Amino acid sequence: MSPSPLPPNLIPEISAFVTKCMAAHDPSHNPQHVHRVVSLANQILARETARNTSSSSSTVYNAEVVHLAALLHDIGDRKYLSQVAAISESIRSKQQGATTATTTNSSEAVDPERLVYHVLLAHGVGEEVAEKPEEVKRLIADGYPELGIVQDADRLDAIGAVGIGRCFTFLGAKGKNFCPEGMWVMDNAIEHFEEKLVRLEGMMKTETGREMAKVRTARLREFQGWWADEMKDAV
């Protein structure tokens, strides 16, 4: 049996909620970032669905889960801990209301809220690399392919021209909190390219994500070359 549909106003309400609670974030993690991730996730979803149809793949994606998970993926980000308590309480209230509204009579049906929970539970590059890469792969294989789409969309927004802008923006807004005394410099952003950003292409879960990441990673590499050329005589 298919899960019950979401309440018709849930996605617009969640979108407005996310916009409101992230409005005070710096531009690297503000509502515009979230809505770019939603757009990228929808692009990946469309291309992967078409790809699966042409190849007769058995993978089926839930578009509502992709949309909700993309909207909620940065809620409670540990880099913005001052807002976690209020955000968590608001999300719990939203989840309780949504779960009540979408209760199904079948104990075997997997409802969208549960899928979103699993997607969010496993989402995050840092945790995946450090703690549970196999768990993420297992969740995707066991029926949560939406996780791969949302992860890929978030990673794509971290690379390419937009990713470069976000990297420097975050450095300016929060970098001092992570840098040793006297080491808060623009080169920190370039170091982050090698530490994380150029590696994201190899971590993509979908074929579409890999194709898009290849283009954006090339832009990172080109920018690195420009940076090195302009900075070589500045020491």
* Strand boundaries in 100-158, DSSP class E: none
Could you give the percent of the chain with pLDDT greater than 70? Answer: 68
pLDDT band at 55 (very low <50, low <70, confident <90, very high): confident
| Cα-based angle 153, 44, 68 (whole degrees, multiple of 5) | 60
pLDDT band at 96 (very low <50, low <70, confident <90, very high): low
Domain 9-231 belongs to what architecture? Up-down Bundle (1.20)
How are the residues of the chain apportioned to helix, strand and coil, as percentages rounded to the nearest 5? 70, 0, 30
Instruction: Using alpha carbons, select from 139, 150, 143 the residue that is nearest to residue 43.
Output: 150
Residue 127 has pLDDT above 50, yes or no: no
User: What pLDDT does residue 101 have?
Assistant: 41
Residue 111 has pLDDT above 60, yes or no: no
Residue 122 has pLDDT above 70, yes or no: no
Range 56-69 average pLDDT: 86
| Cα-based angle 9, 14, 17 (whole degrees, multiple of 5) | 125
Residue 39 has pLDDT above 50, yes or no: yes
Residue 81 has pLDDT above 90, yes or no: no
CA 80 to chain centre: 15
C-alpha–C-alpha distance, residues 113 and 27, integer Å: 28
Residue 117 has pLDDT above 60, yes or no: no
Residue 191 has pLDDT above 80, yes or no: yes
CB atoms near residue 150 (< 10 Å): 31
Cβ-proximal residues to 52 (8 Å cutoff; 6+ apart), any chain: 59, 60
C-alpha–C-alpha distance, residues 35 and 70, integer Å: 8
